[in-house]
């Protein structure tokens, strides 16, 4: 392979990575809005099983959008697949710990798991931040770490506020910021 062909391959890969980073930010913005909306609907209706259905629908939408974006862009970049897989696993494990074990199997009250959900999301955002080398996702992880301590004795009023703050600052804002940064680099 000659020098020009190697340089073209490297440049093409870098260009694809920027597009992939842009689509990753969109997924996080989607999750931030989706989960905040679900949180507020659960708070207003009191139907906790909506978390289960919302998470399943969110994972299906995320996986469908990932496949659509890859089909549209004409390439498959492993970065989004890895991050998408990590978050699909975290979302589905949250269903297990927050819905199946406490409600279906009656092992413990669902409110006892809230601090652990914050820790789980903190770890997911920390992994995402390290993998993408992204400061906004690190800031979102820190929000989860520090606001998760308020779940010591949660009531419905603080739950909805804490979760809304976490979802918007942990997912939505970093997603928007990373999308903005990737588009700014294209110009």
pLDDT digit string, tens, across residues 62-121: 778 777 776 776 655 666 677 878 888 888 888 888 777 777 777 777 777 777 888 888
Identify the residue whose tokens are 């009656």: 106
Q: Which residue has the tokens 């089909």?
A: 71
pLDDT of 151-161, one tens digit each? 665 565 677 78
Residue 38 in domain: yes
- Is residue 6 in a domain? no
Instruction: Examine residue 187 and state whether it is found in any structural domain, yes or no.
Output: no
Question: How far apart are the C-alpha atoms of 187 and 185, rounded to whole Å?
Answer: 6
For the stretch 148-156, contacts whose Cβ atoms lie closer than 8 Å and that sit 24 or more positions apart, written own/partner, are 148/114, 148/115, 148/117, 148/118, 148/119, 148/122, 149/115, 151/111, 151/114, 151/115, 151/118, 152/115, 154/111, 154/114, 156/43
What global pTM score does this model have? 0.74
Contact 140/124 with Cβ under 8 angstroms? no
In a domain, 30, yes or no: yes
Domain count for the chain = 1
Q: Count other C-beta atoms under 10 Å from residue 3's C-beta.
A: 7
Question: Is 27 inside any structural domain?
Answer: yes
């Amino acid at each position: 392979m000659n020098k020009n062909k190697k340089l073209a391959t490297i440049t093409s890969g870098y260009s694809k990575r920027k597009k992939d980073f842009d689509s990753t930010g969109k997924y996080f913005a989607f999750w931030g809005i989706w989960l905040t909306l679900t949180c507020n609907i659960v708070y207003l209706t009191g139907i906790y099983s909506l978390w289960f259905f919302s998470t399943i629908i969110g994972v299906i939408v995320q996986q469908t959008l990932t496949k659509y974006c890859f089909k549209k862009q004409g390439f498959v970049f492993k970065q989004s697949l890895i991050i998408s897989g990590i978050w699909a696993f975290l979302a589905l494990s949250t269903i297990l710990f927050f819905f199946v074990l406490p409600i279906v199997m009656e092992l413990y009250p669902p409110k006892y798991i809230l601090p652990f959900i914050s820790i789980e999301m903190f770890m997911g955002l920390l992994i995402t931040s390290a993998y993408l080398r992204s400061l906004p996702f690190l800031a979102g992880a820190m929000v989860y770490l520090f606001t998760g301590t308020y779940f010591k004795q949660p009531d419905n009023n603080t739950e909805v506020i804490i979760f809304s703050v976490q979802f918007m600052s942990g997912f939505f804002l970093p997603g928007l910021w990373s999308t903005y940064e990737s588009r700014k680099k294209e110009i």
